[in-house]
Structure 1
Amino acid sequence: MAGWEDVRELALGLPDTTETLSRGEMHWRVHHKAFVWERRLRRPDLEELHLDEQGGPVLAARVEDEAVKRALVVEDRSVFFTTRHFDGWPVVLVRLDRISRRRLSEVVAEAWLSRAPARLAREHLESFPD
């Protein structure tokens, strides 16, 4: 399964991505906009999820919209989830220790595309052979 080094490698492999530490959590940004970041579960999150403690690493990832977030959660509840904190926000939470590196690469790339300037995203997509 995936880990933080996988997230780092995948995120930094995308154009104009930077890595920052904010409030003790790692963030990967494109043009100063976070697209994936480390998300420790806070007390209200744990209570909502009926957990005593966070069981493993959690990645927050931007998605295109709420419909995409809901679809991911329905697709695989063992990997994708959300909390009330993110109601109304296009962000899905990912249990990093339960996602394959291949699926993680898709999540990171889609998150990047959702935050990258249109021209940069288009240039990046055009760089792939047909």
Structure 2
Amino acid sequence: MHDLAMGMPHVQRLEGTRGRPVYQVGGRSFVFFRNPRPDAADPETGERYPDVIVFWVASEADKEALVADEHSPFFTTPHFRGHPSVLLREAHLDRLGYDELAEIVQDAWLARASPRRARAWLEAHGLPSTPD
């Protein structure tokens, strides 16, 4: 996961609260490892998840597509209502294939990169630089 985030252009890794990594492009976070908080906890024990990763998404529709699938490891909490991001427990990274995780990281980067950087990256990868 870390290599994927650092593999995107113009990325800076910062040390967030409690030393948890924050990945930014142009000073804007696109992936970060969250500290345990009461809104993301085990429903049986109430113990806060210590390993939540936040990924930016491009839109509410993208967020809903990821969290609505009952087989998806992505989730959200009321704290993130209206926020363009999805959550994933680090313990569940193995539920994603490499290509799916790469796509999530790339999409997070694209959601936060400047339009010029996003266009350049898309063009370099032979992808349309404007939405279909």
| Shorter-chain TM-score range | 0.7 to 0.9
RCO higher in 1 or 2 (8 Å CA, sep ≥ 6)?
1
Kept in 2, the 8 Å contact 1:58–1:95? The answer is yes
Note closer, same or farther for the CA distance 1:94–1:44 as it changes in structure 2 (3 Å cut).
closer
Aligned to 1:109: 106
Aligned to 2:117: 120
Unaligned runs of 5+ in 2: 128-132
Distance 1:28 1:13 in 2: 11
Runs of 4+ with deviation above 4 angstroms: none
Aligned to 1:74: 68
Provide TM-score, normalisation by structure 1. Answer: 0.83
Note closer, same or farther for the CA distance 1:66–1:41 as it changes in structure 2 (3 Å cut).
farther
Equivalent position to 2:81, from 87, 94, 100: 87
Kept in 2, the 8 Å contact 1:17–1:30? The answer is yes
How many residue pairs were aligned?
A: 123
Aligned to 1:3: none
SS of residue matched to 2:86: strand
Provide TM-score, normalisation by structure 2. Answer: 0.82
**Cα offset for 1:76?**
4.3
Kindly report the root-mean-square deviation, in angstroms, between the aligned alpha carbons of the 2 structures. Answer: 2.1
Distance 1:52 1:32 in 2: 34
Note closer, same or farther for the CA distance 1:76–1:106 as it changes in structure 2 (3 Å cut).
farther
Kept in 2, the 8 Å contact 1:73–1:82? The answer is yes
Identity of aligned residues (%): 35
**Per-residue CA shift, 1:46-78, capped at 9, x if unaligned?**
27x454324563210000122211110112455
Amino acid at match of 1:38: F
Amino acid at match of 2:39: P
Aligned to 1:10: 4
Kept in 1, the 8 Å contact 2:56–2:108? The answer is yes
